Chains A and B, each alone.
Chain A
Amino acid sequence: MASVEGERGQPSPRPPYPAESGLWGYPTLINNVETLANVPAILRRGGEWFAGIGTEKSKGTKVFALAGRIQNTGLIEVAMGVTLREIVEAIGGGVPDGRKFKAVQTGGPSGGCLPEQFLDLPVDYDTLREAGSIMGSGGMIVMDETSSMVDVARYFMEFCMSESCGKCIPCRVGTYEMHGLLDKIAKGHGTQDDLALLEELCEVVQMTSLCGLGQTAPNPVLSTLRYFRREYEEKLAGNDAPAHGHAAKEATA
């Protein structure tokens, strides 16, 4: 909205919500193109037809952008409620070169990574949220056994860092610092203190950021920590000799 008004592309605190006071102070309805694209079909064939597709709470279909370590990449449209396994194995053709499936990241850069035990979950809004991920933009990236989950988290954090507008402090500096810590851990220089600090930053950035970008930026880190913590721990191994501890600095030197 700020961009349409000719201003710098930055969010404003809510409330007021756009539906109340949006573009140039008028009530404004904001929808994704994907949402609006459903409208003609619903008008033509009726709401009952549309509601007949999908699950109880997530109705209709959803378009996913399937990518990563998978045979068939591209855009797919499926009914809500199909399992991740159907998408990855039946539609996507599975992981190529006989390698083993490791995780699927849903919801775009700020979504979460789900490991194999979630493959039989139905894909709908509530189930994904409960598992620690989101539907988000409908991105779906498949990782195989050769992918490092710390690298994956670092990659997505790099995206969030460069997409941060810079208005609020937690997102502007927090994504930068989280990326720095992930980079340090990925390169094998991290310590337990770094990991603890990373987790604390995740919480602060998630809870205090002004807009959705900052609030969801820690998701890839949180979900990989939740399901693949061992990979982080392995990267830390051997770095916690007493002399190697994180030296604290004086704030007011």
Chain B
Amino acid sequence: MKRQAPPVRVVTFRIDDRDLSAREDETILTVAREQGIGIPSLCYLEGLSVWGACRLCVVEIAGSAKLVSACSTRVTQGMQVYSNTERLQRYRRMIIELLFAERSHVCSVCVSNGHCELQSLAQQCGVDHVRVPYRNSAYEIDSSNDYFRLDHNRCVLCTRCLRVCDEIEGAHTWDLMGRGIDCRVITDLNRPWGESATCTECGKCVQVCPTGALVKQGTSVGEMTKDRHFLPYLSQMRHAP
């Protein structure tokens, strides 16, 4: 016999100076998005599981010394959230600077120029300079797949590709290898993408990738636009009871 899920309560709380109410199983980020409160995020993508790794959506909670990620924290009764304090803005700018320094994100020669989430986040958060020393990464580009191309130098390790491939397509072609600064995404057991036995070449990873790390073959500077219309629909179908 199927167990009846307990009824979900509605809680009231504040984000910045706005009184809000929501179901207690909603996260701070979903409520903020519904209300048009702009909390920046990068690894989060509606329709995929929560990863909580980019730390751009960190917010302050009154009475708590620790910051929490809005994507993974549920709203509670009486909670007061501060979503955009001077301190948070400073931290977010630094995190974006760290991303720019980690790999080689040169927008002017990128196929995703103008359609890139990292680029718009930098603009949105006011990152006009990078003060941390560049790593000048020079990873080899994997162009072995007939339809798609992987450029590690544009990758932010958000793992959206891993999650969409595993959770929506069900192929689990993508994985992470290495640790710390040496982390990178791989296909199968670090074989060239074109030789992958599991990849269905559906292209979902390319569409969810926020930057120019995963792109279609044959695109030139600024030509790569991404289309994610499939995601809410497929996500709903996969998670249907």
Contact = CB atoms under 8 A, between A and B. Distances in A.
A133 to B, nearest CB: 18
B43 to A, nearest CB: 9
Contacts of B181: 161, 164, 166, 172-173, 175-176
Most chain A CB atoms below 10 A, which of B73, B94, B156: B94
A181 B135 CA distance: 12
B16 to A, nearest CB: 19
A51 interface: no
Contact of B67 (A162, A168, A207, A251): A207
A201 B176 contact: no
Contacts of B91: 203-204, 207-208
B8 interface: no
A169 B119 contact: no
Contacts of B122: 251-252
A109 B119 CA distance: 36
Interface stretch (A64-72, A124-132, A242-250): A242-250
Interface in B37-63: 50, 52-55, 58
A248 B130 contact: yes
The range of chain B's interface size is 35 or more
A177 interface: yes
Interface in A105-139: none
A160 B63 CA distance: 30
B182 to A, nearest CB: 7
A57 to B, nearest CB: 19
Interface in B150-204: 156-157, 176, 178-183
Nearest to A181: B133
Given A162-B180, A173-B101, A176-B180, A12 B55 contact: no
Contacts of A251: 97, 100, 122, 127-130
Interface in B99-149: 99-102, 106-108, 119, 122, 127-135
B57 to A, nearest CB: 10
A223 interface: no
Contacts of A246: 131
Interface residues of A, number: 39
Most chain A CB atoms below 10 A, which of B50, B54, B106: B54
Interface string A163-198: 111111110111111001100000000000100010
Interface in A197-253: 197, 200-201, 203-204, 207-210, 246, 248-253
Interface in B46-104: 50, 52-55, 58, 67, 69, 71-74, 90-91, 94-95, 97-102
A207 B54 CA distance: 13
A163 B69 CA distance: 22
A197 B67 contact: no
A251 B52 CA distance: 25
B52 A13 contact: yes
A8 interface: yes
A209 B178 CA distance: 19
Given A204-B94, A251-B122, A12 B180 contact: no
Contacts of B71: 13
B30 to A, nearest CB: 15
Given A166-B183, A208-B67, A249 B129 contact: yes
A204 B55 CA distance: 10
A177 B107 contact: no
Contact of B54 (A163, A168, A175, A204): A168
B53 A210 contact: yes
Given A8-B176, A208-B55, A253 B102 contact: no
A250 B129 CA distance: 5
Given A172-B102, A204-B94, A252-B119, 11 more contacts: A13-B52, A169-B156, A170-B95, A170-B98, A173-B98, A175-B180, A201-B132, A208-B95, A210-B55, A251-B97, A252-B108
10 contacts: A12-B52, A164-B179, A166-B181, A166-B182, A172-B181, A177-B133, A204-B91, A208-B91, A210-B55, A248-B131
